[in-house]
Amino acid sequence: MDPSYRDMLADVANMYYLQEKTQSDIALALGLSRVKVYRLLKEARDAGVVEIIVHRAPSRNDRLERELCRRFGLTDALVLDTAGMEEVDVGRGIGEIGARAVERRLRDGSTIAVYLGRSTYAVVQAIRPGLHRDVRVAQAVGSTLSATRGVDSAIVARQLAAVLGGEGHYLPSPMFADSIEAAIVLRRQPAVEHTLAIARKANLALLGIGNLDPADSALAIASGLSADQLAGMREAGVVGDMGGRVFTVEGGLPEHELTGRVVGLTFEELRCIPAVIAVAFGAAKAGAILGALHTGVIDVLCTDNVAAREVLGDTRTFEVSGNLEGLRGTR
């Protein structure tokens, strides 16, 4: 398309959609017929000069939400109903319900601690700008040099601070130190200590739940673990991680040198934050979500109906064994 003609389409579209002029007004201003203006507006849409997006509120499954809250003592659960949705729309829908969960809890002057993850990044992308002022965003776990876009906690924190117009606080540290001793030294660095102190005092935290799939695990990306090492962890009972800290399906926290190398908040520190919002979805994440719920760290879960049904179908054995009640008592 000729650039000058495309510019004309953009001018007509701008007058109609942004300046809210009528087609008759545009025709008079440009010396065109009203029919010609109508055709130009249609051509602008067909050529992609104009994109019209309808923001429909995602459908949710309130029955599964109530059951998740009842079984796990959650403050809130938001379950996306994915019936008839494409995979890309599911990710966008999870981001939207997660964003609304964050927005409802943010206040002027709030502090939010954020973690790495594609799901947390999707939430940040769906946050509406300009809702609050003087919001502080603190990176709750160190960065991953080899992370893909949207996985790294520094990227998530920086974008959230920009969207909210708030103040960002970042960790000049890798997510995993080379050794437990190196991690201790890093945590004592003034800049690291300062940001973690802010994160500990947050009003809410936003995090993802990772599984041990070597093709999709943020833990594997950040730590450099091989597929064989991940398989060994699975054989030892590990089902997932939150911020690099691993857990079993019963919510147990196995001793693992990887956990000692994390530069970030501990689960004990997370439990002191009033609202911890976790975002994860899909059948492949069900085991990790179940284990994460059993840790007693999570207050609000954002997920989809597929994962929720899997999780609820697998909780009976833990309720009978008493593990769930014991873990709830740790909060």
Supply 59's token pair: 């459908």
Q: Same domain, yes or no, for 9 and 100? A: no
Mark the ranges of the chain whose per-residue pLDDT is less than 50: 315-331
- The pLDDT assigned to 316 comes to 42
Q: Same domain, yes or no, for 293 and 183? A: yes
Q: pTM value?
A: 0.78
Domain encompassing residue 248? 62-328
Q: Same domain, yes or no, for 78 and 32? A: no
Q: Same domain, yes or no, for 245 and 170? A: yes
Q: Where are the alpha helices (DSSP H) in 106-226?
A: 118-126, 153-164, 180-187, 190-200, 218-223
Q: Same domain, yes or no, for 32 and 131? A: no
Q: Same domain, yes or no, for 99 and 12? A: no
Q: Same domain, yes or no, for 213 and 151? A: yes
Instruction: Indicate whether 54 belongs to any domain.
Output: no
In total, how many domains does the chain have? Answer: 2
Q: Tell me the C-alpha distance between 132 and 49, whole Å.
A: 32
- The pLDDT assigned to 134 comes to 83
pLDDT, tens digit (0-9, with 9 covering 90-100), for 125-182: 999 887 777 899 999 999 886 555 557 888 899 999 988 888 999 999 999 999 999 9
- The pLDDT assigned to 258 comes to 87
- The pLDDT assigned to 218 comes to 75
Q: What is the CATH number of the domain that holds 150?
A: 3.40.50.1360
Instruction: Indicate whether 136 belongs to any domain.
Output: yes
Q: Same domain, yes or no, for 83 and 132? A: yes
Q: Same domain, yes or no, for 148 and 285? A: yes
Q: In 3-state terms, what secondary structure has residue 117?
A: coil
Q: How far is CA 118 from the centre of its chain?
A: 6
Q: Tell me the C-alpha distance between 134 and 120, whole Å.
A: 21
Q: Same domain, yes or no, for 66 and 201? A: yes
- The pLDDT assigned to 262 comes to 94
Q: What is the CATH number of the domain that holds 17?
A: 1.10.10
- The pLDDT assigned to 53 comes to 67
Instruction: Indicate whether 51 belongs to any domain.
Output: no
